[in-house]
Amino acid sequence: MTYTPSPDRYKKMEYRRCGQSGLKLPAISLGLWHNFGYVDVLENSRKIVQTAFDAGITHFDLANNYGPPAGSAEENFGRILKQDFRTYRDELVISTKAGYGMWDGPYGDWGSKKYLVSSLDQSLNRMGLEYVDIFYHHRPDPETPLEETMAALDLIVRQGKALYVGISNYQPKEAARAFEILKRLGTPCLIHQPKYSMFVRWVEDGLLDLLGQEGVGCIPFSPLAQGLLTDKYLKGIPEGSRAAKATGHLQEEDVTEEKVEKVRQLNDLAQQRNQSLAQMAIAWLLKDDRVTSILVGASRPEQLINSVQSLNNLQFSADELARIEAILK
């Protein structure tokens, strides 16, 4: 069946300026970290992408190693683009990254110019694209000079293979140096992608302030703490969940009784706000105007619709914020 997007898709979404750039991103973006690899059902992945675009989500975030296996999320996304979105490319913001282990040998990991340029060429090939909108360095490399890594990002923009560049998982000091180098090279950093949720708050120790001062956007990943900030774990660890599988980033030992009790209390507050816990967790991040967009994942279209509905209530009273802090402490 031919896919025709919803004609009123842009009325459903809030768009926020990314730092001091000219680019606006949807408040909710779709991350393809899980559920888009060869191990997944392609037709379900396709439905999720269609549902996203129908809801006004224009930004799709990938990385070279997303799958599993590595590379397969980009290949599947390329198939979906070709089938459904060929005429809508200019309405989409597509990002990818390199920085984690991708192929054997000394040139398939970290932050050398050799790796980053080769990796993006492979990513473009897999997705069938001439360029991506944003290319990220996925994590800092302790052994490669930061000047070389940033020069690779600058080169990639000058080659026309990316319109903007970003960094991910950089601590405030490293990020400040990266911003300075990129500014000097003439390709300012557009955006930073950190892990940030009610349970993971290191970005509040200087990074958010830095991004605000430098005019760099912020797009948190894992806003639901790998599913912990949903109603899934209210009674402990359910069968089939990420913690039960113990193959993902959420391990069984992360789901302590103390954490589950916090989740229950947060869930009670969310219900008083007429939100699901997941919706409140997303809204809580978006209350900060330094946050440009939130990266959400989805294993089925309904999950994504649920996340988008968090935009219906982004306001928190001082009392609600105080209660959240008291629960989290």
pLDDT (tens digit, 9 = 90+) per residue, 196-245?
999 999 999 999 999 999 999 999 999 999 999 999 888 766 666 555 55
pLDDT of 119 above 90: yes
What is the average per-residue pLDDT within 304-317?
98
> Could you report the per-residue pLDDT of 6-29, keeping only the tens digit for each?
999 999 999 999 999 999 999 999
Element (H, E) at 115: helix 113-127
Q: Which of 294, 223, 231 is nearest to 13 (CA)?
A: 294
Higher pLDDT pick, 219 / 249: 219
Question: What CATH superfamily is the domain 14-228+288-315?
Answer: NADP-dependent oxidoreductase domain (3.20.20.100)
pLDDT confidence of residue 255: 82
Residue 97 CA to residue 21 CA, distance in Å, equals 20
Six-digit token pair at 182?
């990129």
